[in-house]
Chain A
Amino acid sequence: MGLTRLIVNRFLFGLITLLAITLLISLALEALPGDFAEQRLGQSATPETIAAIREQLGLNKPVLVRYAEWLGNFLQGDMGISLSNSRPVAELLATRLGNTLFLAVASAIVAVPLALFLGIVAALYRESLLDKMISTITLAAISLPEFFIGYMLVALLAVNWQLFPAISSISDSMSLGEKIYASLLPIATLTFVIVAHMMRMTRAAIINLLQSPFIEMATLKGLKRSRIIVRHALPNALSPIINVIVLNLAYLVVGVVVVEVVFIYPGLGLLMIDSVTSRDLPIVQACILIFGATYITLNMLADILAIICNPRMRHPR
């Protein structure tokens, strides 16, 4: 039926998009001033050593040839080795990706239910003092840059009251509990940043529906206001809310580099920035693939969920 075909279609388009991204990244890195050899040696470069590094790593070949080689290896499951320290890219990425996903999942577990709850409460007590407080606080939080929120939390909770660690340098040797404790401040920061968006959308979508005839009907039946909102309004408001939630989840994976810097959290963002700075192409490509795949998959998921929630969308006019 339509849904399967749609998924297959979207999947194929996703793959083409990813391929295009990797080619673009190769060309973009090439366009940046300085190549890997020059960046590696910095001020201490001499023409001989630069030539030797280029020779050793095959950087003398034209960019398209190098891209084709990379693509060939990648399609056989080989992500290559890092130019700078010869470690397999897959191995380098595994830990970092794990850390990034850990932070994203933990933040989502806190932020998504919180945002839904606040949105529902705000819609329930629309225009009340409570509604205004929720809106003001979450909007204020989203208006502040995330590094500012991060530093404020560190200044208060880590330096002043010494409740939490100031840096979240988590490692594999830590237990889950230790990891969660070490990551509490970045989780809090990310929660502040993404709650407002989801909460506002929940509130708006529900309030929109409150004008509809079926809600009026429910009210006339004498149902409780909270039951009307949770059982009748929310399921019908789900598709825009899911869209926003999924976009925010994508942000948690690909957009948290500033938070990683503030809290020294060893995630993918830091790895990619370091690699772009040093023009370490295999790592950049791998990071971009992960980021791109995350965005594409989550976007696809958002559409599919929206369609499942709203069967009318299966039959576009």
Chain B
Amino acid sequence: MNPKYHLEQAYKEGTISRREFLQRSALIGATVAVPGAMMAGAAKAEMKRGGVLRLGMGGGSTTDTIDPGTHTDSVGITIERSMRSYLTEVSPSGELIGEVAASWESKPGATDWTFELRNDIEFHDGQKLTANDVIYSINHHIREGSTSAVAGQMGKISEMKADGDHVLHITLSEGNADFPWLISDYHVSIFPENGGWETGVGSGPFSLVNYEPGVRAELKRNDNYFKEGRPYFDGLEVTVIADAAARDNALKTGQVDATNRVSQRTALLLDKAPGVSVHKVVGTKHYTVPMLTNIPPFDNVKVRQALRLAVDREALLKTVLGGHGEIGNDLPIGRRQEFYNTELPQREYDPDQAAFLLKEAGMSGLSVELSAADTAFDGAIDAAVLYAEHAKAAGINVNVIRESNDGYWSNVWQQKPWVMCYWSGRPTQDWMWTIAYEVGGAWNDNNWNNESFQSLLKQARVEVDPAKRKDMYWEMQRLHWEEGGTVVPLFAADLMGVSNKIQLPEVIGSDWELDGQRCSERWSFA
């Protein structure tokens, strides 16, 4: 076992102190990034100017475009975040900070929002960024006939009005206290009204020089970037490398400086290679096993509870994720997210209790089908087979159906009664619950219709008092933990491979891969 991993684990579990961790890391000569959240307050690292950051990334395709409404995967998002800016930004430590917006406020009820924009921002072509550009950009997603992936999510905007060049009023048809979070979404970037998104002009840290979708992208530094001193690199080169082994090789041979999606199976080996280290970040990405709760036998709450008890999460974590992650507690909310209910006990593997619940429900010897394909997540079929093994001990017969990868999201997910699924997670509770758990939501994959849960979701959305919101979200989590239809067995870590030539900041964003897909402006050469 790699000593570096041991240390990191021990530190995270709290068996050694931070001082001890750093001393012992130095002893074994390891360059280790201290697990994110625990490094707050450490001294600021020296960021150096210069050099071209070369990324080797999975998650790109020849079908990628620079239309901000179309991104679905990592390469498109990284390029988008590098060439354009957003109203707001999720900071590495997980707070919402302004990017183009300097400040914002809402009236009670959270329907009327006012954003004050920075007045010193210019697009790559020299035009000033104004409130009209923001309106034009958001309209791209909500106009009639929009093909944007966030058309639904942004659809609650009923009116946008510019007040001069740098003040923007947005009215929502339904209040939402988390609205400033919603517009940090990677789709909602800002481009000039005069030119549109087609030109690729933005106000981001880099400007696009050359882009061959699915192959490579080349960007050069925006010397006129509005964030002081940033970016540190002179340029950014993204090479799309779909194959995990090829990404490892490219990093080992120094052809790229960092890679995303290191395979769980080769992470240890890659970490041992000279000049390279593997960093893992656990954020909000989670694997789910949603049941359609309006379809028998999943309409029976005891069946749902029994199935949640019938899986050994620790074993899944070890086998499916190679230990790179955390076990889930049937909540789609990350442990470090705001308003996480810390009082709910961790649900354990308890086949006896599961069998007992089924007996009570008169469903002993239950037989159910579980649909899986590796499109849901890498290892989903293995996970389903393991689930079936674990459930046997409770007398439950889980019949694993291997589905085709093609068309999984249109023909299996939301269609078959019990399936494998993943969510990259969302930075706020409201956002996550709304997209996948609110009745009538387009991506609702469980149809769980609990009246108090649904009404709390609506109340909390317009509530601006944090103390009251906390109570509501805690109650919603309790309800979902007790009666909900989605099993959340695992939170998966993002693994990235980084050359030792790169200087990482102390805190690495966990909202998306590669430092919130903002590594191009947050990292530098050492």
**A38, A52, A53, A84: which has the most chain B beta carbons within 10 Å?**
A84
Measured in the bound complex, the distance between the Cα atoms of B61 and A271 in whole Å is 9
Contact of B63 among A40, A154, A262, A264 (CB under 8 A): A40
Select one of A32, A40, A43, A56 contacting B70, CB under 8 A: A40
Q: How far is the CA of A140 from the CA of B386 in the complex (A)?
A: 38
Question: Are A41 and B72 in touch, CB under 8 angstroms?
Answer: yes
Q: Is B241 interfacial (CB 8 A cutoff)?
A: yes
Contact check, B253 vs A34: say whether CB atoms are below 8 A apart. Answer: no
CB within 8 Å for A42 and B409 given contacts A49-B149, A166-B255: yes
Stretch at the interface among B92-100, B168-176, B244-252, B350-358: B244-252
Known: A45-B410, A53-B147, A261-B243. A85 touches B63 (CB 8 A): yes
Which listed residue (A33, A44, A95, A167) contacts B72, Cβ 8 A?
Answer: A44
Contact indicator per residue, chain B 374-415, by CB within 8 Å of chain A (1) or not (0): 000000000000000000000000000000101101110100
Q: How large is the interface on B (under 10, 10 to 19, 20 to 34, 35 or more residues)?
A: 35 or more
B148 at the interface (CB under 8 A from A): yes
Q: Please measure, in the bound complex, the distance between the C-alpha atom of A171 and the C-alpha atom of B240, giving whole angstroms.
A: 13
Report which residue of A41, A155, A271 has the largest number of chain B beta carbons within 10 angstroms of its beta carbon: A41
Q: Answer yes or no: A158 CB below 8 A from chain B CBs.
A: yes
Chain B: minimal CB distance from A85 (Å): 4
Per the CB 8 Å criterion, the residue count for chain A at the interface is 49
Does B411 lie within 8 Å of A167, measured CB to CB?
no
Residues of A within 8 A of B64 (CB): 84-85
Determine whether B62 belongs to the interface, using a CB cutoff of 8 Å to chain A. Answer: yes
Binds A, one of B212-220, B337-345, B451-459: B212-220
A162 within 8 A of B: yes
Q: Is residue A67 contacting chain B, with contact meaning CB distance below 8 A?
A: no
Alpha-carbon distance A165/B254, docked complex (angstroms): 9
Smallest CB separation, A155 vs chain B (Å): 8
Q: Does B41 contact A (CB under 8 A)?
A: no
Please indicate the chain B residues that have their CB under 8 angstroms from the CB of A275 in the complex: 62-63
Interface: B65 (CB within 8 A): yes
On whether A270 and B241 interact (CB within 8 A), knowing A38-B407, A159-B249, A159-B253, the answer reads: no
Q: Does B239 contact A (CB under 8 A)?
A: yes
Question: Are A169 and B152 in contact (CB-based, < 8 A)?
Answer: no
**A42 touching B72, Cβ below 8 Å:** yes
**Contact with A34, one of B56, B65, B246, B411 (Cβ below 8 angstroms):** B411
Interface string of A17-60 (1 = CB under 8 A from B): 00000000000000011100011111111111100110110000
Cross-chain contact of B212 among A33, A84, A86, A95 (Cβ < 8 A): A95
Indicate if the CB atoms of A167 and B406 lie closer than 8 Å.
no
Shortest Cβ distance from A55 into B: residue = B145
Q: Which residue, of B148, B150, B239, B245, has the highest number of chain A Cβ atoms within 10 A?
A: B245
Contact flag A33-B249 (CB < 8 Å), given A274-B62, A274-B214, A275-B63: no
Partner of B409, one of A38, A82, A162, A283: A38
Q: How far is the CB of A126 from chain B (nearest CB, A)?
A: 41
Cα–Cα, bound, A162→B274 (Å):
13
Contacts of A55 in B (CB 8 A): 145
Known: A34-B410, A46-B152, A47-B442. A159 touches B252 (CB 8 A): yes
Known: A40-B63, A46-B151, A84-B65. A167 touches B246 (CB 8 A): yes
Tell me how far the C-beta of B373 lies from the nearest C-beta in chain A, rounded to whole angstroms. Answer: 11
Q: Is A278 an interface residue (CB 8 A)?
A: yes
Question: How far, in Å, is A257 (CB) from chain B's closest CB?
Answer: 11
- Check if A151 is an interface residue, CB within 8 A of chain B: yes
**B244-287: contact bitstring with A at CB < 8 Å (1 yes, 0 no)?**
01100110110100000000000000000000000000000000
In contact, A169 and B242 (Cβ under 8 angstroms): no
Pair A169/B239 contact, Cβ less than 8 Å: yes
Which residues from chain A contact B246 at a C-beta distance below 8 Å? Answer: 154, 166-167, 261-264
Closest beta carbon of chain B to A89's beta carbon, Å? 11
Partner of B406, one of A32, A155, A158, A274: A32
Chain A neighbourhood of B150, CB < 8 A? 44
**Complex-state Cα separation, A151 to B214, whole angstroms:** 22
With CB as the reference atom, state the residue of chain B lying closest to A271.
B62
Asked if B146 is an interface residue, CB under 8 A from chain A, the answer is yes
A80 in contact (CB, < 8 A):
no
Task: Determine whether the beta carbon of B407 is less than 8 Å from that of A167.
Answer: no
Find out whether the CB atom of B249 lies under 8 angstroms from the CB atom of A41: no
Q: Does B5 contact A (CB under 8 A)?
A: no
- Using CB atoms, name the residue of chain A closest to B60: A274
Which A residues touch B242, using CB under 8 A?
261, 264, 270
The answer to whether B406 touches A34, judged by C-beta atoms less than 8 angstroms apart, is: yes
Give 7 A-B contacts (CB < 8 Å), ordered by A residue.
A40-B70, A52-B145, A52-B147, A166-B255, A261-B242, A262-B245, A266-B214
Instruction: Report A's interface with B, CB cutoff 8 A.
Output: 32-34, 38-49, 52-53, 55-56, 82, 84-86, 92, 95, 151, 154-155, 158-159, 162, 165-167, 169, 171, 261-264, 266, 270-271, 274-275, 277-278, 280, 283
- Starting from the known contacts A40-B72, A86-B65, A166-B255, 20 additional A-B residue pairs (CB-CB under 8 Å) come to A40-B63, A43-B443, A44-B72, A45-B409, A49-B147, A56-B145, A84-B62, A151-B245, A158-B249, A165-B253, A166-B249, A169-B239, A171-B212, A262-B245, A266-B214, A271-B62, A274-B62, A274-B63, A274-B214, A278-B61
| The 6 A-B residue pairs with the shortest CB-CB distance in the complex, in nearest-first order | A33-B407, A34-B407, A84-B63, A166-B249, A46-B442, A85-B65
Question: Footprint of A on B, CB under 8 Å?
Answer: 56, 61-65, 67, 70, 72, 145-152, 212-216, 239-243, 245-246, 249-250, 252-253, 255, 404, 406-407, 409-411, 413, 442-443
